[in-house]
Amino acid sequence: MNYIQQAYKGQRDLWMFILTTFLVAGIFLANFVIYLISDPADLQLAMDMMKNWPANLSLIINLAPFVFLLLLLFILVRYVHQRSILSLTTARPKVDYKRILFSFLMVCTFTLVTFFIGYSIDSSELVFQFDAKKFAILFLISIILFPFQISLEEYLFRGYLMQHIGVMVKNKWFPLILTSVLFGIAHAANPEVGAVGFWKMMIFYVGTGLLLGIMTLMDDGLELALGFHLGNNLLASLLVTADWTALQTDAIFKSTADPSMSLLSEILMPVLIIYPIMLLILSKKYNWKNWQDRLFGKVTEPPKEDYKIIE
């Protein structure tokens, strides 16, 4: 059984899907609706108010809801859908933590190397603000709470929604594209979207969603996506902060650059060049084959003897 077929191991009534999606993803939908209907001046006022909060307190407030939402998703999957959390995580007999670690180290290595190359070339818009005490607190908050935040997003978008939508439509390409678009929309209320530009950031977010979705389908599990997402978000919190980003932290550096991103070098290059290179690295390491079927093939119900719904 492949990854999407794991959904057959549980109950799949439509009301269950609607209930779980509404309860767990409601916060993302609410944020998007607020973003659409709110006056930009009001959004800026709220952002300015949050800047006056202690950075670590603001981070805790932003990340704490993900703890409860992840637990809620697990409870609904286990007791409403009557399936195991393992089936939501991977098609393997057990979670492969080495895959999580490899993907984590891959994105961390790339981010740190490219950052320090850029820093050595031009550091004029970066302020070194390292404070050992504040950073230690930030580090503890980050390693405790970010795993919940990235896990909720991966288990919801690349896990629950990918599997159940795939079973509904009987193919793999539609849930891959839809969950990537939803992943982008879920981040539409982030302050950098307003600062940099909606369509620029949507290209980046949707492109990142596609990367994580391809990892999941090709590798038959969430492990690589979890490692990548965790490494990316941890470094975003610990390495560089800026006044116009979603993460206001006591990071090592603070960017004083204007809130703008080059469409070519900072949006299209990662999505169209760096991400495919990372997929190539993973494909060689994990011997991925049959890309067409894994990404565009049909989803069929496996023989009943291949799975059992938890009673």
**Residues 40-57: tens digit of each pLDDT:** 666 667 666 666 778 889
| Residue labelled with tokens 């998703």 | 73
Query: What average pLDDT is seen over the chain?
Result: 91
Q: Which residues pair with 253 in a beta bridge?
A: 128, 240
For 285, half-sphere exposure in the C-beta direction (CA atoms, 13 angstrom radius) is: 14
Q: What is the pLDDT of residues 55-84, one digit of tens each?
A: 889 899 999 999 999 999 999 999 999 999
Main-chain phi, psi angles of 188, to 5 degrees:
-65, -25
Higher pLDDT, 35 or 171: 171
Contact 8, 1 (CB under 8 A): yes
Cα-trace Rg, the chain:
20
Q: What DSSP line would sit under 170-222, residue for residue?
A: TBSHHHHHHHHHHHHHHTTTSHHHHHH-HHHHHHHHHHHHHHHHHHHHHHTBS
The answer to whether the predicted template modeling score (pTM) of the entire model surpasses 0.85 is yes
Task: Compute the distance between CA of residue 229 and CA of residue 220 in angstroms, rounded to an integer.
Answer: 17
Q: Which two tokens stand for residue 307?
A: 């799975």
Q: What is the pLDDT of residues 83-132, one digit of tens each?
A: 999 999 999 999 999 999 999 999 999 999 999 999 999 999 999 999 99
* pLDDT of the residue at 258: 81
